[in-house]
Amino acid sequence: MPDAENKLTNEEQAQTRRWLEEKGAMLPCPACGNQDWSVGEHLAIAPAYAPGVLKPGGYPLVLLLCTRCTFMRWHSAMMVGLVPIPNAGADKTSGTKAEG
């Protein structure tokens, strides 16, 4: 998990690259066609939205930047495994841990 400043370690950056490669997601930049991406040093957050208002909190994201044109793309830090998924394994209707 990133430190108090949300800075990723070298290992977490490498973990991100491995995860994306396993998913076949290290594609060329859609803006310039460059093949090289840099993993951002810090996590970002995309705010949650409800009609007419931004809700507190949001979704933690890991950033990738094209090393040529700096096009940015975001991936879920939870799905990459950098941030724990809240209530993972909980029954969504009762809030209790699912059996099985």
Per-residue pLDDT for the chain (100 aa), expressed as one digit of tens each?
A: 777 777 899 999 999 999 999 999 999 999 999 999 999 999 998 888 778 776 777 899 999 999 999 999 999 999 999 999 888 665 544 444 444 4
What's the pLDDT at 90?
Answer: 57
Question: What is d(CA 61, CA 77) in angstroms, rounded to the nearest whole number?
Answer: 5
Residue 31 in contact with residue 23, Cβ under 8 Å?
Answer: no
pLDDT value of position 18: 97
> Under a CB-based contact definition with an 8 Å cutoff, are residues 64 and 29 in contact?
no
Which phi and psi (to 5°) does residue 94 adopt? -115, -15
Full-model pTM? 0.75
| E strand spans, the chain | 37-50, 53-66, 72-76
Count other Cβ atoms within 10 Å, centred on residue 15: 17
Q: What is the pLDDT of residue 78?
A: 94
Nearest Cα neighbor of 74 from 33, 36, 42 is: 42
Domain ranges for the chain = 10-80
Structure tokens at 57: 């909190």
pLDDT, tens digit, 9 for 90 and up, residues 75-91: 999 999 999 988 866 55
